[in-house]
Amino acid sequence: MEASVEQLVFVRDDEYTVARMSAEDVPGFVAAGRALAGVQPGETLRLTGEWEDHPRYGRRLTVTSCERVVPATVHAIRAYLGSGLVRGIGPRLAHAIVDHFGVDTLKIIDTEPERLTEVINIGPTRQSQIVQAWRDQKAIAELMTLLAGYGVSPLLAAKVYQVFGAEAADVLTRDPYRLIGKVRGVAFATADRIALRSGVPERSPQRLKAAVVDRLETAAGASGHCFLPLPALVAATAELTGQDPALIRQTIDALTTERRVVVEGSPGHPGRLAVYAKELHSREQALAANLARLCRAPSTLRMRAYREDPSLHEDQRAAVTMALTSTVSIITGGPGCGKSHTVRAVAATVRAMGGTVTLTAPTGKAAKRLSELTGLPAMTVHRMLAQQEEPDDGTLFQQTPTRADLIVVDEASMLDLHLAVRLTAAIPDGTHLLFVGDSDQLPSIGPGSVLTDLLRVPEIPRIQLTHVFRQAEDSGIIRAAHQIRAGAVPPLPGRGGFWFEELDDPLEVARRVVHLATEAIPRKQNIPPDRVQVLCPMRKGATGTVEIGRMLQERLNPPREGVAEHWSGATVYREGDRVMPIRNNYDKGVFNGETGVVTAVVPHERLLEVRTDDGKTVRYGFDELDELTHAYAISVHRSQGSEYPFVVAPIVAEAGGVMLRRSLLYTLVTRARSWVVLVGTRDALETAVRRVGPPRNTGLARRLEASLHAPAR
C-alpha cells in the first residue's frame, strides 16, 4: 500500500520506528518496523507488511519493506511540502503553491523552478532557496536508498550530504573510508561495510591504512590517548581487519613515509616504539615548546612588597608567593581546601601592585562558578582567545585578556591537548600562567592529560592545598569526597548531604533515580525539578544517560498537543527540552558543556532555537542536531566544571562496570553543592572506589622536561 507519514511516535536506538500514517483507503493507522528508519513526516511511502492487533495502537501494520515514492495527489503533495521537508516552505505557503500548480507542483519545482515566482510571496530569493532545498532533499533521499543497499543506516544520509554535498554519492561508491572522522557516527566498521560490498579487497592498502588511522583516532577519542604503543596498534588493527600483523606493520611504515603518522621512542619505555597521528604529535610538540618558552621568559610583573593576608592558611600564603614569582605554576587541592579563596588572594595582590588579571576556565559554567567564588569577572578560555583579535568593549576587561600580567586557568584538569596548545600559543612572554585544578578528578574529554603531565615535571612549581577548612568539614559531600579520594568507601548509607540507597535491579535503579529527581527531592526540598541533575557513569544500558534521559523527558516534557517536536534519529527534540552542546561551535559561540532550553522548533525552516543559560539565542539546523544532546541526564565527564544544588546518580555494574573508577566517582560526588544521592549496589560503589583508571598514553611530560633542559635559542 502507499501511505503518507503524518507523525513519528517513537524511534528506538536500533532504528525500530513507530509512525502514524494515512492512506487513501485507510485514513489513519499506525505502522512500525526497522524498515521505516529515517522516514519523515510528509513523505509518501510504498509499504509492504502485515496487519496485526496491538494492545496499545489497535490495528497496526508491521512493515517489512519501505520505498519512498513521489507524492501523486494534491493532498499528499500539500502534506509533503507543508511538513518542513523542503526548507523555506511552511503549511501556508505549501497550500498557496499547490493551489496554483495542483498535481503538477513537484514536476514544476523540478523542471521549471522559475515558475515558482508566479505564486504570491515568492520572490527570486525565496524561489532560489526553495529550489536548492528541493535539490538537497532529493539528493539525501537518493543517498538513503544507496546506503540501505549497502546495509548501512539511512539515517547517515543527511550527515554525509552535509559534509560532502554534491560529491557524496561518489565518495560512497569510490572511497567510503573518507567518511571516517568527517561524518559523525561513521567509524571504520560502517565505512568498511560499504567498501567491502563495493568490491574493495580485504588486503587493500586503502583499507588497511584507514584501519590504522581509525585505531589511533578511536584511542584518542574514547580513551584520551595521544599515541599507541606499536605492538598494541598492530594487534588492534589486525583484529579489526582480520589481516596478518606483518601486513599491518608494513601499512604503518607506509603511513610513516606519507607523514600521516609519526613513530618514535615510547615515553618511559626504552626500546619500545610509540605511534602518533601526525596532528597530535605536532600539537604535543607545540605545547611543550610553548610552556618551555613561558617558563623561561623573565616576568613582566612589577614586583614590590605586599602584605600577606593573615586570613590565609600557610600553604595558601605559599601558593600566593609562588604565583607571583613563577611565570608558570600550579595549585591543586580537593574540595574545601580553599583553591578559589587562594585565587582571589593572588588576583587581589596582583591588582594591588598595579597589575592586570584574567580569570578563565574551560567551560562557561566553570567560568561562572569561578566568578561567583572569587567575586571577580571570569570568562571561558575560548572567549579569551576570541578576544585576542576582538578586544572587549571595556565593560568587562580593560585590556586584551591574553596580555594580562596574570592569567589563571581554573578547572585545569579539563584542559585537553587541543585547547592547551591554543591557550599557551596566545600568551606573550613574561605573563604569569597559573593552573588551578584537582588532579584526582576525571581527565579531559579530549586527548591528553595536561594537568597530570605538568605535575610530572619537577621544574614546574606547584603547591597542593591539603588543609580542609572548618566550614567544609561539616559537609557530608566533602567528607565523602576526601574519603573516596583516599581510596576508602564512605560510611553508608551516609549523612549530611551524602546518601546511598541500595538497589540491585538496574531497571529498578533507573526508576528510582527518575522518581528522586522528578518527585521526591523537589517535594522534600520545595524546589523545581530543574534544580536536580541526574549524572550517569555510562551512556548506554538501563542506567545510562540515553535511557534515563528518555524517562526524564517523558516525565518532565512529554508530547503535548500544539507543542512542536522533531525526531533526529532516536532522539526527539521538543520545545522546553533541556539540551547541551557536545561540540564546540565557534561560529555559533557555543561550547561543549553549556546548557540551554529549546525555545522553538520550526519545521518549515528545518531548525530549532536554543536559549542558553547566559541568555543567548542559538539556532541549530535539523542537519546539525548531532551537535546537541539532551541534558536531562548527562555523563559525569560532561558535568566537569559544573556544580548543581542536588545530584542523583545510578551506581551499578552494568556491562561489567568498565566506567566505574575512583576519579569518576570522586568527580560525580563533588558536582553536588547540597545533596548527592547514589542509587545502586554496594559492590559497584566499592569497585568504583577501589579501581584506579589506567593512565593515558602521552609524551608531554618527557617533551617538556627535554625542552626545559635544552639550551635556550
What does the pLDDT read at residue 395? Answer: 41
What does the pLDDT read at residue 393? Answer: 47
Q: Is the pLDDT of residue 1 over 70?
A: yes
C-alpha to C-alpha distances, 482 to 158, 438, 634, nearest whole angstrom: 48, 12, 24
Please tell me which of 23-27, 362-366, 539-543 the model is most confident about, judged by mean pLDDT. Answer: 539-543
3-state class (DSSP) for residue 296: helix
The CA distance from 658 to 691, in Å, is: 10
Q: Is the pLDDT of residue 193 over 90?
A: yes
**In the predicted model, what is the mean pLDDT of the chain?**
91
SS (H, E, C) 569-586: CCEEEECCCEEEECCCEC
C-alpha to C-alpha distances, 611 to 191, 606, 621, nearest whole angstrom: 36, 17, 15
- At position 97, the amino acid (one-letter code) is I
What does the pLDDT read at residue 185? Answer: 78
The CA distance from 364 to 387, in Å, is: 15
The CA distance from 436 to 464, in Å, is: 10
56-86: pLDDT as tens digits = 888 899 999 999 888 888 888 888 888 888 8
List residues forming the annotated binding site for ATP.
336-340
What does the pLDDT read at residue 9? Answer: 92
571-596: pLDDT as tens digits = 999 999 999 998 878 788 887 778 89
Q: Count CA atoms within 13 Å of residue 506 on its CB side.
A: 16
What does the pLDDT read at residue 446? Answer: 92
Residue 170 CB: number of other CB atoms within 10 A? 10
The CA distance from 624 to 86, in Å, is: 16
List residues forming the annotated binding site.
336-340
Q: Is the pLDDT of residue 306 over 80?
A: no
Q: Is the pLDDT of residue 712 over 80?
A: no
660-688: pLDDT as tens digits = 899 999 999 999 999 999 999 999 999 99
Q: What is the mean pLDDT of residues 407-430?
A: 95
Question: Is there a contact between 427 and 402 (Cβ–Cβ < 8 Å)?
Answer: yes
What does the pLDDT read at residue 428? Answer: 94
The CA distance from 534 to 677, in Å, is: 10
Percent of the residues in the chain that have a pLDDT greater than 90, as a whole number:
65
C-alpha to C-alpha distances, 325 to 294, 358, 360, 459, 465, nearest whole angstrom: 13, 17, 20, 14, 18
What does the pLDDT read at residue 392? Answer: 47
Q: Is the pLDDT of residue 391 over 90?
A: no
